[in-house]
Amino acid sequence: MKCNYCGNEVPDGSLTCPSCGGAIQQPQAASQQQAPQGAPPVQQTVVVVQQGPAPVPKSRTIYVILAFFFGGLGIHNFYAGRTGCGIAQLLITLLSCGFLSGIVWIWVLIEMFVVTRDGKGVPMRGGALLLIIALAVIWVLAMLGIAIGVAISQAGGRADTITCVSNLKQIGMGLAQYAGDYDNRFPPQDNAAGLELLRGTGILTDHAVYVCPSTETTAGSGNEPLTDANCDYIYLGGLMPYFDGGSDCPVAFERPGSHSENKVNVLYGSGAVNTITLPDSVQTVTDLLQYLEEQATNPKVKAFLQKKQQTVF
């Protein structure tokens, strides 16, 4: 074999020429037998495989946002093509009328952290870790806010009930003082007109005592007389508390619905005040009078309450 540059003989297998140092081009071995001369050329078939476009990955950020706002309905799983999970969450929420929504939301919260692929197994784009943490913190704070709000509301309701009981006890003491001055009989008129005799005679002049704190009624002021517009308590006039079981007879109470859970405070002739939880069927003053009549055991108390059903609105 000779060098392509200088023409000198080069030993077989050498990579460079020992004379000029030029690179030696090695002959290539025939990989296949040459077709004989005159034979037709061999035709080669080329198969082209066409692939469809690559699937577009879903956004994990959108998945997390949908889970946070509409997780109970499974909207986030419908978006990601996880149809089975979406249908299951939707049915649990709807068929249970929301009673099992807590379980669904725990399920959704777990999905927000662990689901990274759509229903076809394609990885979602975007990590959304910070978004998940932020939304989780917002969710926890919202739940705490709701719990605190409910606790404050319940505490406020109990405080209003205590104040209302105090108002009725003051009215009871005023009625007892009035009866001591007027032949052992309470003021004869019903409702605000009867209680106005306590205020007008100077026995109980504080307008705030005649208003239940659970209502939006505006108390009167100064020498303004008591009316049904500025007095929340229903008063049953004309009772003689020291005769024939009058001490066990209701004489004043709030209108039903003034307090939560359909509770009502009732003042009796003895001056005692009881808080009663009424049935849901008791919605009006007449309903309450009928309920109190049913609960009474003294026939004269029953007759008194039955008569008041015709005169007290």
Beta-strand runs (E) in 173-310:
233-235, 250-254, 263-268, 273-277
Q: Please, which residues have CB within 8 angstroms of residue 236's CB and are 6 or more apart in sequence?
A: 190, 249, 250, 251, 252, 304, 305, 308, 312
User: pLDDT per residue over 29-69, tens digit each?
Assistant: 444 455 555 556 656 666 555 555 667 889 888 998 899 88
- Does this model's pTM top 0.85? no
Question: In 182-284, which residue ranges form alpha helices assigned H by DSSP?
Answer: 191-200
User: What's the pLDDT score for residue 30?
Assistant: 44
User: pLDDT per residue over 150-188, tens digit each?
Assistant: 666 665 556 777 889 999 999 999 999 999 999 889 999
**pLDDT of 74 above 80:** yes
User: pLDDT per residue over 92-111, tens digit each?
Assistant: 999 998 888 889 989 998 99
Residue type at position 123: P
Residues 89/74, Cβ–Cβ less than 8 Å:
yes
More confident residue, 15 or 277: 277
**pLDDT of 194 above 70:** yes
In Å, what is the CA distance from 17 to each residue of 5, 57, 82?
A: 9, 59, 69
Q: Please, which residues have CB within 8 angstroms of residue 103's CB and are 6 or more apart in sequence?
A: 92
In Å, what is the CA distance from 164 to each residue of 47, 119, 197, 259?
A: 92, 60, 20, 10
More confident residue, 198 or 39: 198
User: What's the pLDDT score for residue 38?
Assistant: 58
**pLDDT of 28 above 80:** no
User: What's the pLDDT score for residue 227?
Assistant: 92
User: What's the pLDDT score for residue 27?
Assistant: 60
